[in-house]
Structure 1
């Protein structure tokens, strides 16, 4: 199911000029009006800083963010979402909602509630099994 979901998500995101994972990266960046450093972004996403840097490089041609120097640390760069990026966020959210609806299609509300509860329990179990270190990275 994970592979099928990712393939369906890739199709929806392609219409927006995005690849999977770029949607989440841009969405997270857009939550911070003043932007964030690459290291802050990596920590928020639970990825390594070089991975965040590569992902940003792939996104840069879209004009969805700009890089600004950090006044207090010349080694750091703050990534700030542009107006074009902020305009794309509702489209990303719409694609997510459409995909969720398509995936659950004819599943009744009662069945959806059961699935959601089961997923939340599985999530809680996994969080407990990996410890607090991973939770701090989120």
Structure 2
């Protein structure tokens, strides 16, 4: 790849990342969420019995202190509750409340709207080519990082 093509790729990916995050932030703000909190809450809602902070952090691909800080920012939302883990008093299980479960369809709607806004107007074939290229790029970059990072955030 020559320098001008590399510059074009870098510019396009940087711009896409910034624009995608900005639009996502606006859409999530209407729900009272910030980017990243949507993924956290959605993942928690998939486990009816909840998850420990360590389990959640591992699932997202972040450190437990980062998950703890994210949860602290959501603490007063009423979307989850903390329950003691009977077998380990040092651990707490994060369990999504009914209010949190009611928010999940709105989160999924934001994701669908954002995907449509981003990819709308492309043919099925173009969309498949773009998605395959992005997934391959993610796999190569993930290999360099050495982490199992969750898609979205």
TM-score, normalising length: structure 2 = 0.82
- Residue 101 of structure 2 corresponds to residue 86 of structure 1: yes
Distance 2:143 2:83 in 1: 38
1:124 CA displacement: 2.9
Aligned counterpart, 2:116: 101
> What secondary structure does 1:80 align onto?
strand
- Residue 76 of structure 2 corresponds to residue 61 of structure 1: yes
Q: Residue deviations 1:39-70, cap 9 Å, x none?
A: 11111111111111110011111100000001
Aligned counterpart, 2:65: 50
User: Against the structure 1 CA distance between its residues 21 and 68, is the aligned structure 2 distance closer, same or farther, given a 3 Å change threshold?
Assistant: same
Unpaired stretches in structure 2, ≥5 consecutive residues: 1-15
Q: Map 1:2-13 onto structure 2 (within 5 A).
A: 2-13=17-28
Pair member with larger Rg: 2
> What secondary structure does 2:109 align onto?
helix
One of 49, 61, 70 as aligned partner of 1:34: 49
Unpaired stretches in structure 1, ≥5 consecutive residues: none
**RMSD of aligned C-alpha atoms?**
1.5
One of 6, 14, 25 as aligned partner of 2:40: 25
TM-score, normalising length: structure 1 = 0.91
One of 125, 146, 149 as aligned partner of 1:110: 125
